[in-house]
Amino acid sequence: MLFPNPVPSPAGWQLFRWLFDPLTFLDQCTDRWGSTFSLGLVTGLRMTLVADPEAIADVFSLDPNHIESGSMNYLLEPLVGLNSLLLLDGNPHRRHRKLLLPPFHGERMTTYGRLICDLTRQQAADWGSQQVIAGRKVTQVITLKTILKAVFGLVDGDRYGQIQVLAAKILDLLGSPFTSSLLFLPSLQRDWGPWSPWGYFLKLRNQLDVLLYGEIADRRAEQVQAQQDAAQPNPATNRGPSDRTDILSLLLAARDEAGQPMSDEEIRDELMTLLLAGHETTATSLAWALWWVTQFPAMGDRIRAEIAELGPDPEPMAIAKLPYLNAFCQETLRLYPVALIGSPRRLLKPTTIGRYDYPAGAIVSPNIYSAHRRPDLYPNPTQFQPERFLERSFSNSEFLTFGGGSRSCIGMAFAQFEMKLVLATLLMDWSVAYAGVLPPRPARRGVTVGPDGPLRLRMTRRDRVAPAPVPKPQTVV
């Protein structure tokens, strides 16, 4: 069978629904065709989505030499460049993945943890005793500053300020439904000048590139100077890149198995990848987490009580290990995963996945959203129940927010770490209530799905009090 359960509607209509009403579209397809069906988002090209854990496990275990996945992400090329890990396959993908993995693990996470907590407190420093905030905007600012300092290693100054402004403008532009839809419609990517949506994006991107390449050049010069200083009689008095813990410095110093460094273009593209893939996803997840706190205040109290057991000034690494906080964040990611599907795989040879045999050339992708709402895995799947993650463990083919196999998200550890620390830092000192009129609805935000509005929240400074009982779960509206 070439395409299991092909959705029969025209490609243009399917693409429209995928862009502007993706969750309802996936729900209806799942109700009609089950856990495996094939979409025709582009005329003449179909992609099969699988939500069965057995089939997902088969996808994740595919030999990287027998698939193409990076080429399936060609729509992201204008954002991240041709050298991005997301667009690479084969040996180039393996090389970049090895170079990028080390920075997200080990002792550096302790340094990153303190930075994340400090940036979160700084963001809330001017709120007074009570402040109504745009929750999504606040989480975007915190996560953007985290990336610029932890990933790029920028310090306060002109370049930092310029990069922050340009990056924020690009991310806001891509967050609009209209502009983000252009990513799926390459024929409309026309530069009609800086006042056209695509022309404006290209202008901002080019300005940001100038700053990024300038930072890369300065860091390379800093490394050369540090090497020269190290040859002096008293190198302990010299401070060089070895003192840095930011990811840009680590990428500049990294060497592959052949002893080759990354080029400026490769580093630029990976920085853009980490910026665009790591910023909006974490910011969106944090916005949803704050929304759930407003719906279940006692759950927020339970998180606070868990943190209080660590003492008055808990270490970030200890906070990140708290079980209920972790369960709360995982349930947030389950109900509204920021990526609805995993990386598509184009099969290079005939392959059996789940119950179906696929020919070479078929495209298969894990259906994250639908897998997370399977009632056989998650009873009452539309209810927000963090306890489910305390009661049992879920395999990577059952809970797959960060993908799996050779295409799993390299920033998984950092993203979860940041999400837990920002949420915990806010909840320690603030009560959160919803200040909007209508509840938020999920809507496409670039390549992610997040709240459709600013998520107005009333933040009230609080004294740390004993927790209230955890309420019964509630069905998602």
Q: Is 450 helix (H, G, I), strand (E, B) or coil?
A: strand
Long-range pairs, 43-46, Cβ under 8 A, ≥24: 43/11, 43/12, 45/363, 46/3, 46/6, 46/363
In this prediction, residue 241 carries a pLDDT of 44
User: Could you identify the residue written with the tokens 């340094």?
Assistant: 111
Report the range of poorest mean pLDDT among 178-192, 195-209, 228-242, 445-459. 228-242
Mean pLDDT of 453-463: 94
| pLDDT confidence of residue 19 | 86
Q: Is the predicted pLDDT of residue 477 greater than 60, yes or no?
A: no
Task: Average the pLDDT over 133-141 and give the result.
Answer: 96
pLDDT at 235: 54
pLDDT score of 240: 46
Instruction: State what percent of residues in the chain have pLDDT above 70.
Output: 92
Residue with tokens 């907590």, as numbered in its chain: 117
CB contact set of 339 (below 8 Å; sequence gap of 6+): 281, 368, 401, 403, 447, 448
More reliable by pLDDT, 35 or 261: 35
3-state helix, strand, coil in the chain (%, to 5): 55, 10, 35
C-alpha 301 chain-centroid distance: 27
Query: 225-243: per-residue pLDDT in tens?
Result: 887 777 775 655 555 445 6
Per-residue model confidence as pLDDT tens digits over 306-322:
999 999 899 999 999 99
Query: 25, 14, 8, 80: which is closest to 443 by C-alpha?
Result: 25
Q: What is the pLDDT of residue 242?
A: 57
**HSE toward the beta carbon, residue 28, CA cutoff 13 A:** 12
pLDDT in tens, 168-192: 998 888 777 667 777 777 777 777 7
**Who contacts 445 (Cβ-Cβ below 8 Å, separation ≥6)?**
174, 175, 177, 180, 280, 284
In the prediction, which pLDDT does 349 show? 97
Q: Once rounded to an integer, what is the mean pLDDT over residues 159-171? A: 93
What is the structure's pLDDT at 371? 99
* Tokens linked to 155: 């310090």
Distances (CA, A) of 334 to 256, 289, 327, 414, 467: 36, 11, 10, 18, 25
Indicate whether 346 pLDDT > 70. Answer: yes
Which residue type is seen at 261? P
Q: In this predicted structure, what is the pLDDT of residue 64?
A: 95
Q: Which pLDDT score, from 0 to 100, does residue 472 have?
A: 55
Between 285 and 473, where is the model more confident?
285
Q: What is the DSSP string of 329-368?
A: HHHHHHHS-SSSB---EEESS-EEETTEEE-TT-EEEEBH
Is the pLDDT at 74 greater than 60, yes or no?
yes
pLDDT score of 298: 96
pLDDT, average across residues 46-51: 97
The domains of the chain, with CATH numbers, are 1-80+338-371 (3.30.43.20)
For 23-61, the DSSP string reads HHHHHHHHHHHTTEEEEEEETTEEEEEE--HHHHHHHHT
pLDDT of amino acid 234:
61
Please give the mean pLDDT across all residues of the chain: 90
Tell me: pLDDT of 166 over 70: yes
Q: Tell me: the pLDDT tens digits for 392-442?
A: 999 999 999 999 999 999 889 999 999 999 999 999 999 999 999 999 999
**The pLDDT of residue 43:** 67
How would you list the strands of the sheet with 36-42, edge to edge?
36-42, 45-50, 363-366, 345-347, 67-68
In the prediction, which pLDDT does 193 show? 77
Q: Is the pLDDT of residue 287 over 90?
A: yes
